[in-house]
Structures are given as C-alpha cells and as structure tokens.
Structure 1
Amino acid sequence: MPTWTKRHIVDGFVRLLHMHSYPSITVEMILAQTDVSKTTFYRYFRNKSDVMDAYFQQVYDAAILDEGCRDLEDLFAAILEKARSNPEQYRMFETTGYNSYLQFIYRYTFSMGSRIIETAWKRSLSEAESLHVAFFCAGGSHIVEEFCRGQNYRGLSGRQAAAEIAQMMGDEYHVAIDDAVRAQLREHIRRRDA
C-alpha cells in the first residue's frame, strides 16, 4: 500500500504539471488532485520538492529495472527518450538551488550510477573513479534538461545521444546491467522504499 500511495501522489503531481507551472503548484493542490489527506501526504513526503524528486526516481528506477536495459548506454537512452517525450519535466527545471530538479537528477544519478558500477565491479569506487562518475552525472543532468526543453540536440534521438555519451566513457565503465546486478538494484530500491 505505501508504494501505491506514493505513486498515486506522484501521478497527481505530474497531472498538475500539465496544467500549472511548478512554482504555482502547492501541497494543497496535490492533496485535492489525489484526494489524500494531509497526514497521508506528510507520511511520505516533506514537501512538493520531495514529490518532484520521487517522480525522477520512478523514471530512473523503471529504466534500470527494465529487462531491455543491458548497460549504461541503454540506461542513458531510456532517460533521454523519457525526457524528450515528457515535456512536463520542463516545468520542474524552473526550480533553483540545492533542492532544484537539476541538482536532484545529479545527486540521484551519481548515487545510483556509482551503485551500478560498484555492483558490477564487486568493489567500491576509488576516489578518482568516483570523480569520473560525478563528472558524467553532472554533465548528464544538464543534457537531460536540454533534451527535455528541446533546446539542443534536436537532430539526435535519445539512442544516438546515448551512443555518443557512451563513446566518451572509458571502456572500464561499460558495465553490463545483467540479471545479477538488476536483482541487487531491485533489492536496494525495495529496501529504500519500504
């Protein structure tokens, strides 16, 4: 039930994004859209920024857990294609500062990207390797924004852009997201969401 309730709240928030700018959306509007009580909302989220973050988590986690996601290139393609096909994300980029959507994308992709690589390598990242992942995630968060807004790279599909990004990565980072890695990630997500 908690997973369903959280998703229901996130889905209501996304419906509101189709009609309103992010800054104009209030918790009260989310409550009215989802028909959940204030107590229920605050059981799962501190504020609307948490709901915004949960939306991207759902997108990213669904891409990772998809059986068609075999490696990081497939993951990049899925995220970029989702950004381009969901213009409501554009409204979330109106946020600024530490709790901005852009910063959340960076933090979450860095966290999960590091976890994917460490799981595949069966060891922790070195400081230099962590720097490499952080660099790609910081740039990647801006690419997601630009893909979503349609500002740049209009001639590239998500798959083409993902292939270009993967070419820039060192060969050692071309890790497989196989059934064993996916099972560990699924368990991590399950524990996090429990």
Structure 2
Amino acid sequence: MDEKALFVAAEVIILAVQPKILLQVLPTIRDYIQDNQVLVSVAAGVSLEEIEAGIGKHKIARAMPNTPVTIGEGMSSISVNHQFTDEDRQTVVQIFESFGRAKILPEQQIDAVIGVSGSSPAYVYLFIEALVDGAVAEGMSRKDAYEFAAQAVLGAAKMVLETGKHPAELKDAVCSPGGTTIAAVASLEKDGFRAAVMNAVQAAIQKNRE
C-alpha cells in the first residue's frame, strides 16, 4: 500500500514527528487529507493555527502525552480546533486513554501541561533518587530503598487521584504532632522545596515558549 492509500484508509492520523520536521511534512501530505479524517499532532510548540496553515481547515488536535504512556500510566492533554465534533473528541480521548489518562484542555494551557505533566516525571525521578540517597546514607541497600521510595510515591499519587482529597489534607493526616514526618516537612520547607518545584515548572514552561 502506497503513502496516499494509507492516508485515505485512515480515520485518525497521528503526526508523531519533531516540530521542525512536522512543519516540513505538512505541505507534502496536504493533498491526501480528507474532510472526515482526524489529525493529531504530538509535536510540542507547533500550534493548531500553524498546522492549519500547513494543511488547511481540517479536524486537527494537539496532544501532549508524557513518558509514562509507555507503561500505560501516562497523562495526556488534548486540544482541538473548531472543526472537531463531540464524536471526534471522544474518539481521540479514547485513543489516549488506552495508555493512561487523557483530558480535553484549551490550547493556551498546553504550556502549563508541559511544566506540570510533560516534564514532571523527571522531577519525580530526581525526588525518588534523593529519597534513596538519604536512606542509603543510613545503611539501607540501594535496591531496597528504590523499591520503598518508588512504591511510596506511587501510593501517594493514587491517594490523591482516588480519594479526591486535597494534598494538604493528606499531608496533614501523616504529620502527627511533634512527630518524624512534620520534622521532615519543616526541613523541606526550610530548604525551599516547594519554591524549587514551582520554579522548575515555570522554567519548563518558559523554555517551551522560546
């Protein structure tokens, strides 16, 4: 089956190339695209308007997944243009929900998504690594420490998602008066943990806007 036949046969076309390459590819596929087809771009930094300029007024979406999609635990934002129907939205959401969670958001929020979700797995890995180093310093094996730290992070994340409680409420439930956890939280606050994370999110957002 040749390139044109593949495009004609597809209901949904995923444009999964780097941003610079995407802008070069769009004019080459413009004549193949049909009005009933849905196109989804995962190229960061290329707006719906820019994609429309390259291929015309078709059903176009921008998706921003993160790397945990590779194990079925991703988080993806989806932004669509005015040509999308409710059925089209449902179709694209179902595709991305097949490897995690997905949510329709306005395109202007994609920068925030990159900071809070797209890049944040790296922040979490760094946090896990720091937890492990602290435990290893006290004599725990690195292998055991990684298992305990990763499971603690996984469990805490599930508590937020499944209980619907505010993270502050969940934090307070762990912090007994005068206990070990509140001492640790006080140390994190003293060292600027919260501000450091907020600054990291903003740095990712600003870099994406460059």
TM-score by length of 1: 0.33
- Which structure would you say has the larger RCO, counting Cα contacts within 8 Å and 6 or more residues apart? 1
**Greater C-alpha radius of gyration:** 2
